[in-house]
Amino acid sequence: MTESALGQSGTHSRRVMRSSLALARGLGAAHSGVTHWWVQRLTAVALVPLSLWFIVAMLHLLGAGQPEVARWLQHPINAVLLLCLILASFQHMQLGLQVIIEDYVHNKLTQLATLLVMKAITLLLALSAIIAALKLAFSQ
Amino acid sequence: MDDIREALMLGRQSDGKPVRRPLSPHLQVYRPQITSVLSIMHRFSGMALAAGTLLLVAWLVAAASSPAAFARVQGFIASPIGWLLLFGWTAALYFHLLNGIRHLAWDLGCGFEKPEYHRSGWMVVIATAVLTVLTWIVGLAIW
Ligand code: HEM
């Protein structure tokens, strides 16, 4: 193939082979937008009673020592509600922080890196909270 | 041009010289209103609550580790900085929760008239203050 033929087929393929769909891909929500929105609302609704319960529980535990906290979490209802609060708030927080990062970090590569770091930290925090809560709940 | 929105910011001066117009709304000259202030406050309170999860995780992990570790975290929380953080966290949580309910009502299509969203906005501000102070009065009484 001559050089000019190569160059020509290059321009040719760029003009003809790339569909409009290929150009639009990656710019929108790629079908995950509704789920993101919906899960953020569901967790928000769940967090209204859970947060109010948590504030009352913290007032109840003010100044408590470690044994009292453990005894509190050994009650199954408290353990279940605390786990619900942990799951709902970290999921809600992760979705919210994602929107903020997507709003302010414009460079695609930096944005991806920031999102991955944020999601990794969220996962580590959530797992730490869950393991700690379970350990206390099952302690004697 | 690496951001497609910049296409909207092209303008010309009266002598024809091209200029980069500011992003609308131009925040430096835009009068703060209850709507816009509460909107950005929702974002700030969400970020404050995200930071607050660090304290929650530290508290739980310390409680699961040992009574000594737990006493250290309790000591930090009972310090002046700890109190300040806890107060800020209480206010951020009440604000975000109440304004979040306002958001959820909008999602259902309610409260979109101008007098309505002005009234609900001020109700959120007042209720946040009342609930935060009330919680702290109860807390200090128990402590
Ligand atoms: C207590 C009950 C809560 C309710 C009712 C609630 C409600 C909401 C709603 C409706 C939104 C979407 C707002 C929008 O469309 O712009 C939102 C965003 C957000 N929430 Fe919550 N939330 C709650 C608790 C929390 C908690 C505990 C955290 C953090 C751990 C959190 C962090 C965030 C963040 C970071 C955003 C993103 C803000 C933004 O995009 O500007 N929220 N919340």
pLDDT digit string (tens) for B21-79? 777 777 778 889 999 999 999 999 999 999 999 999 999 999 999 999 999 999 999 99
Say how many Å lie between the CA of residue A38 and the centre of ligand 1: 13
Is the pLDDT score of A12 beyond 60?
Answer: no
Contact between A128 and B60 using a beta-carbon 8 Å cutoff: yes
Point out the residue among A97, A133, A135 whose CB comes nearest to the CB of B50: A97
Q: Are A66 and A98 contained in the same domain?
A: yes
What is the tally of structural domains in chain A? 2
Under CATH, which number does the domain B33-142 receive? 1.20.1300.10
Say how many Å lie between the CA of residue A44 and the centre of ligand 1: 7
Q: Ligand 1 pocket test: which of B42, B57, B98 has the largest number of ligand atoms within 8 Å of its C-beta?
A: B42
Cβ neighbours of A55 in B, within 8 Å: 90, 93, 135
Q: Are A26 and A70 contained in the same domain?
A: no
Q: What's the whole-model pTM score?
A: 0.86
* CA–CA distance, A69 with A91 (Å, rounded to integer): 25
Q: Are A129 and A83 contained in the same domain?
A: yes
Q: Are A41 and A27 contained in the same domain?
A: no
Q: Are A12 and A39 contained in the same domain?
A: no
- Residue spans of alpha helices (H) in A3-107: 3-16, 20-24, 33-60, 66-74, 76-104
Domain range holding A5? Answer: 1-31
Q: Are A19 and A53 contained in the same domain?
A: no
Beta strands in B13-114 (DSSP E): 18-20
Tell me: ipTM over 0.90. Answer: no
Phi, psi for A56 (deg, rounded to 5): -60, -45
Q: Are A45 and A70 contained in the same domain?
A: yes
pLDDT of residue B30: 84
Q: Are A117 and A101 contained in the same domain?
A: yes
